Amino acid sequence: MDKSVLEKIRDNYFVHFSALFLTVFAFVGKPIPYSNDFSYLLRLISTYNSEFLKNDLTFSAYQNEHWLFNHLFGVFTLFLSIEVIGWLGRFACWSILIALLLRLGKRWKIPLWMVTLSIFLWLSIGQSIVNDEWMFGGFEAKCVAYIFLLTALDRFCDGRDFSSAALLGLSFSFHPLVGLWGFLASVLALIVFHKDLVRTGKVILIGAAFSLIGLIPLLIMKANSVDSTSENLQYLELVKFPFHFDPFAWARSSILFLFLLGVFIIALHIRLKDSEAPSKFLFAFLVFLGSFFFAGIGLRFFDQYALLEFMPMRLYPVFAPLFFLFYFGAACKNKIDRSVIIPVAVVVLIMSVWTKLPLRTYATLNSTYEAWTQTKDDTAHTFIWLRENTPSDSIVIAPPWRYDFWYLSHRARIVSYHQPIYSDLNEWQTRLEKLTGKALPENGFREDEELSKFYLGLATDEIKAIASAYNATYLVSETDYPLPLVFKKGNIKVFRLKEETTK
């Protein structure tokens, strides 16, 4: 093939965009609904349909943390299915995020193919090294928040501070935690970048004004919330979500890797000439994200669970590997001394193997394949039966670890293990403990098998007590009980706990 043709392909933006879009689909293009979709997309329905799961504790509670996302995109549930909304939302977010990352990567003054390769490698390791955070995945509030954050970062590099401030505020309004740390890191970076406190103060005021869209609903939620105890927060952070909140649950090698990436980024930034380096704003932004990350580890060391709830470690594990790859590309392009590049490359390769990043790549691809090829099990068919054969106001004692109960049954449940009730963590934990037993925070994450063992071991008297306390009308279980059996699929049974009153 002619060299000029290869160069045209190499430099063709559409080729790079398409390659990255296909890569994203291969890694995270699960069927809809999947994982968080089972609750987040249903939230869109309940926003404009007050009858949907109105007697379910989770859906009737004050859950305003994604108020703007739910009210903006919930409108589409009036005439589109959540599956269509989910796919349209994914494709739109993926496309915009890819375009923004390709644009942002050019700030390192590297060729388009280097930018694309960097993004590809970042996607292949799962987008973050710890913390299970991501930009590309399902259609969620944080995906939109990252769009506004990345756009703001790019515009800050051009000195368009005030429009960027508005974008930061909108990022917060869509997802308070993504927006909070992106806002703080950006403001601190601006102080370093401009050294102009008056200008930065204006940025803060504009950003704060646009953040009110999401902040006011949060304050209303807070006013209607039950205060969480330290025990509730430990359950949330150490038992349910240690992969998000608890650095003590993360591999120390991964934390060390993130520290080394930060060191290497600083070293490469210093070695690059001003004409070769990205904007100092982006460098300062990452440094402050890293400061938040390691401060979060300090908070965990001192058991500051109330502060850990704000997740200061959220953004650095996502941005650090991506920015490192951009920096390394710039170092190679500008032929920085091999005495720097080679040791950095060797250490990163060793750390990648030590932290099992190649295995993560395989696992991610395999999970997409399995998600598309798996079939509904007996429990899923049982949930569908509930939707078709029970009154719409039924309340079901169902396996709390199942993501798909609400989506398949359209019935209320006692509690969901995967969807905390942030406005009343105490009630959420109390209900979970009745169905799955008490958990010791020091034991960390509970697998489904552990939850299932306790749930299936509940005695008849315990089931009746739970049914009485929460007005449950049906029970789904593999266990045999001396209760009226109304349906059976394989080993899964449905028992009636009360006589039907409505249809």
Provide the 8-state DSSP code for 392: T
Distances in whole angstroms, Cα of residue 429 to Cα of each of 41, 63, 438: 23, 16, 9
Looking at the DSSP assignment, which residues form a beta bridge with residue 476? 494
Model pLDDT, residue 278: 75
Residues with Cβ within 8 Å of residue 464, at least 6 apart in sequence: 497
- The confidence score (pLDDT) of residue 503 equals 45
Helix, strand, coil percentages for the chain (3-state, nearest 5)? 65, 5, 30
Q: Of the candidates 10, 4, 79, which has an alpha carbon nearest to the alpha carbon of residue 44?
A: 79
User: Rounded to whole angstroms, how far apart are CA atoms 161 and 396?
Assistant: 52
Whether the CB-CB separation of 382 and 492 falls below 8 Å is answered with: yes
Q: Label residue 276 by pLDDT band (50, 70, 90).
A: low
Mean pLDDT of 168-188: 98
- Within 8 A by CB and 6+ apart from 89, the residues are 73, 139, 143
Say if residues 347 and 259 touch (Cβ distance below 8 Å): no
Q: Give the model confidence (pLDDT) of 359-376 as tens digits.
A: 999 999 999 999 999 999
Q: pTM for the whole thing?
A: 0.95
In which band, very low, low, confident or very high, does the pLDDT at 479 lie, cut at 50, 70 and 90?
very high
What does the pLDDT average to over 7-18? 88
Residue 502 scores a pLDDT above 70 = no
What Rg value do the Cα atoms of the chain yield, rounded?
25
Tokens linked to 56: 């379910």
pLDDT tens for residues 292-348?
999 999 999 999 999 999 999 999 999 999 999 999 999 998 888 788 899 999 999
Q: What does the pLDDT read at residue 62? A: 78
Whole-number Å distance between alpha carbons of 246 and 131: 8
What digits encode the pLDDT tens for the residues 44-64? 999 999 999 999 999 988 788
- Find, among 441, 435, 447, the residue nearest to 475 by Cα: 435
As a whole number, the mean pLDDT across the chain is 94
Q: What's the average model confidence in pLDDT over 459-477?
A: 97
Burial degree of 319 (CB within 10 A; 0-12, 13-18, 19+): buried
Confidence of residue 273 (pLDDT cuts 50, 70, 90): confident
Q: What is the mean pLDDT of residues 194-213?
A: 92
Distances (CA, A) of 50 to 44, 59, 185, 500: 11, 10, 39, 22
SS3 396: strand
Question: Residue 189: exposed, middle, or buried by beta-carbon count in 10 A (0-12, 13-18, 19+)?
Answer: buried
Q: How many CB atoms lie within 10 A of CB 466?
A: 18
Asked if the model's pLDDT at residue 474 lies above 50, the reply is yes
State the average pLDDT over residues 95-122.
97
CA contacts within 13 A on the Cβ side of 492: 16
pLDDT of 405 > 70? The answer is: yes
DSSP assignment, residue 483? S
- Cα–Cα distance for residue pair 143/157, rounded to 1 Å: 22
**pLDDT of 18-49, one tens digit each?**
999 999 999 999 999 998 999 999 999 999 99
Residue 229 DSSP code: P
Q: Is the pLDDT of residue 436 over 50?
A: yes
pLDDT of residue 134: 96
CA distance 68 to 353: 41
Task: Label the pairing between strands 395-397 and 474-477.
Answer: parallel
Domain boundaries, the chain: 3-30+62-370, 378-496
- pLDDT tens digits, one per residue of 215-271: 999 999 999 999 999 999 999 999 999 999 999 999 999 999 999 999 999 999 998
Map residue 73 onto helix, strand or coil: helix
> Cβ of 252: how many Cβ atoms within 10 Å?
10
pLDDT for position 404: 95
Q: How many CA atoms lie within 13 A of 467 on its CB side?
A: 21
